[in-house]
């Protein structure tokens, strides 16, 4: 059960807010719990009522719909909060995937929690999780940037701040902006290896693996469907590996790596037994201030 960030107790006679994940493509990915929730709540708040209506018709769900989109998120959240306080149970959905992850939802969730309303996650599909699951990344950490800024100057400035991150960079992007984003990334990050996922869970699901410039050429004639882009992290120059202790300290203090990541990277790069690196790493991390 969620608790309020302002230490309010949950109010027993108000409604509940259900944050419901819906399919990102294949309608078969809807969970039984999500269907039951959408059928039994008093109201479904959705990004686009036309889009959600198609899903409800497919599932034979007659629950009333109300729009809740980003441009009206502040005012709509007040309206929905009032309904929750009057005792109505509301399901929040986006057009596809999980609300609040590069989709509307965070504003209402914060206000509901502050008001002492119980917030329940009905977990399910997410384009981020789907792409990660089939990307084959060895890293346990990554940076998720959502949609890059649409404005070119803002996007370039934003990318400059990400240029030195050593972990994979993951973005959502729209078809009409993917070429511009790929070009800016190649200019500011270098021509890194990348994966572009298209139409995840749909009939024409596709993964393109190439460098950023290579991907740019492959989408030059246009591309359809929502996209997830995974870009290789920065390759940082390591200190001379003549002192294992200093190298471990560098990973801990400069890179802010986890013990597991540091051990794995050092053991691989120096061709040392993992057990040897792990034993010394334990002592280094034990002494973390």
Q: Are 21 and 68 in contact (CB under 8 A)?
A: no
CB burial class (10 A; 0-12, 13-18, 19+) of residue 66?
middle
Write the pLDDT tens digit of every residue in 205-257. Answer: 999 999 999 999 999 999 998 899 999 998 866 555 567 888 888 888 877 77
What is the chain's Cα-based Rg? 23
> What percent of the chain shows pLDDT beyond 90?
68
> Band of the pLDDT at 283, cuts 50, 70, 90?
confident
CB 273 within 8 A of CB 264: no
Options 3.30.1550.10, 1.10.1740.10, 3.30.950.10, 3.30.420.40; which CATH number does 128-231 get?
Answer: 3.30.950.10
Q: Please choose, from the candidates 111, 85, 68, the residue with its C-alpha nearest in 3D space to the C-alpha of residue 16.
A: 85
**CATH 3.40.718.10 correct for 17-125:** no
Q: What is the pLDDT of residue 239?
A: 53
Q: Which residue ranges make up each domain of the chain? A: 17-125, 128-231, 244-286
**According to the model, what pLDDT value does residue 6 have?**
39
Question: pLDDT tens digits, residue range 61-84?
Answer: 999 999 998 888 888 999 999 999
- Say which residues have a Cβ less than 8 Å from residue 213's Cβ, sequence separation at least 6: 182, 186, 191
pLDDT of residue 51: 93
Q: What is the pLDDT of residue 238?
A: 57
Q: What is the pTM of this model?
A: 0.76
Tokens (6 digits) for 61: 């769900």
Kindly indicate the confidence band of residue 288, based on its pLDDT and cuts at 50, 70 and 90: low
The mean-pLDDT minimum among 112-116, 137-141, 161-165 falls in: 137-141
Q: Mean pLDDT across the stretch 95-109?
A: 91
Contacts with 100 (C-beta within 8 Å, 6 or more apart), sequence order: 19, 106, 109
Mean pLDDT of 26-39: 96
């Amino acid at each position: 059960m969620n608790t309020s960030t302002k230490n309010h107790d949950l109010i027993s006679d108000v409604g509940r807010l259900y944050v419901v994940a819906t399919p990102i493509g294949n309608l078969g990915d809807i969970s039984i719990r999500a269907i039951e929730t959408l059928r039994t709540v008093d109201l479904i708040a959705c990004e686009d009522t036309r889009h959600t209506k198609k899903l409800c018709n497919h599932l034979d769900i007659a629950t009333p719909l109300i729009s809740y989109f980003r441009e009206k998120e502040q005012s709509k959240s007040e309206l929905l909060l009032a309904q929750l306080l009057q005792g109505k149970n509301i399901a929040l959905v986006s057009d596809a995937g999980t609300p609040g992850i590069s989709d509307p939802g965070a504003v209402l969730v914060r206000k509901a929690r502050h008001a002492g309303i119980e917030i329940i996650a009905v977990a399910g599909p997410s384009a981020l999780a789907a792409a990660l699951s089939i990307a084959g990344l060895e890293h346990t950490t990554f940076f998720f940037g959502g949609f890059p800024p649409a404005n070119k100057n803002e996007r370039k400035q934003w990318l400059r701040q990400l240029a030195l991150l050593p972990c994979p960079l993951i973005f959502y992007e729209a078809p009409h902006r993917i070429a511009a984003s790929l070009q800016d990334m190649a200019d500011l990050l270098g021509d890194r290896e990348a994966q572009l996922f298209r139409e995840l869970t749909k009939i024409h699901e596709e993964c393109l693996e190439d460098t950023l410039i290579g991907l740019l050429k492959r989408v030059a004639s246009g591309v359809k469907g929502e996209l997830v882009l995974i870009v290789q992290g920065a390759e940082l120059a390591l200190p001379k590996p003549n002192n294992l202790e200093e190298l471990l300290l560098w990973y801990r203090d400069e890179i802010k790596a986890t013990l597991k990541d540091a051990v794995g990277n050092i053991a691989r790069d120096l061709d040392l037994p993992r057990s040897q690196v792990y034993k010394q790493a334990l002592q280094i991390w034990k002494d973390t201030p």
